[in-house]
Amino acid sequence: MMKLPEPVQKVVDALAELPSIGPRQAVRLAFYLIGRPKEDLRVLAQSIDALRAIKICERCFFIHQNAGALCDVCMNPARNQRVIMVVEKETDYLSLENTKKFTGRYFIVGPVPKTGFLEAWQKTRLLSLKKYIADELGGAADEIILGFNPTTLGDFQASLLLKELAPLGKKISRLGRGLPTGGEIEFADDETLGSALDRRN
């Protein structure tokens, strides 16, 4: 490949590392950025830099920028901390939160590897959840909802988490199969997700 100016190559390399962006698309994006007004580039650079100040909630591991250690949901006294929705990723959290039907709180475990072996950081997260349930909820949450996709992989992930969490919830549930089988939480509309919440079993 012809050598690009070093700052351009740096941006290309960084963009190509992003999930679902290939090397060719990274080059196209870099050229698009170069064609933008200089002020736009400054704003984009500053916004990305500002991401460094984003904090991760100590309880559910969602993002926040509160003064304390907890995110908006976890520090909200109106939310039931004894009902815990375990989800794979932040975008699932967002989709569920958008239904405005869930009054418990979340726990983001991260993408469960297909190997079935959790990463070290995922084990650390699980340990903190177990400690919270032991210390704060007297050893058992009122309900643990396994909010995984209604897919083969999601079933696998749920069964894995079930093994870990079964003793820690008075009730363990999954999202109702009002969700179309084979679909994904992230792409479901609010109505469908709402009924899935209502019919969790």
CB-nearer residue toward a second copy: 23 or 139: 23
Q: Of 84-92, 124-132, 166-174, 191-199, which segment contacts a second copy by CB under 8 A?
A: 84-92
Cβ(41)–Cβ(31) under 8 Å?
no
Amino acid at 15: L
CB-nearer residue toward a second copy: 97 or 155: 97
Cβ(102)–Cβ(71) under 8 Å?
no
Q: Of 53-61, 128-136, 137-145, 152-160, which segment contacts a second copy by CB under 8 A?
A: 53-61
CB-nearer residue toward a second copy: 79 or 89: 89
- Output the six-digit token pair for 67: 């003064």
Q: Of 20-28, 127-135, 139-147, 149-157, which segment contacts a second copy by CB under 8 A?
A: 20-28
Using CB under 8 A as the binding rule, the residues of this chain from 90 to 129 that contact a second copy are: 90-91, 94, 97-98
- Output the six-digit token pair for 60: 């559910």
- Alpha carbons 69 and 3: distance in angstroms, whole number: 46
- Alpha carbons 72 and 109: distance in angstroms, whole number: 18
Q: Tell me if residue 118 falls in helix, strand or coil.
A: coil
- Alpha carbons 177 and 78: distance in angstroms, whole number: 28
Q: Is position 171 an interface residue for a second copy (rule: CB under 8 A)?
A: no
Q: Is position 131 an interface residue for a second copy (rule: CB under 8 A)?
A: no
Q: Within 13 Å and on the Cβ side, how many CA atoms surround 92?
A: 24
Q: Is position 75 an interface residue for a second copy (rule: CB under 8 A)?
A: no
Residue numbers at the binding site for a second copy (CB under 8 A): 1-2, 4-5, 7-8, 10-11, 14, 18-21, 24-25, 27-34, 38, 40-54, 56, 63-65, 89-91, 94, 97-98, 186-187
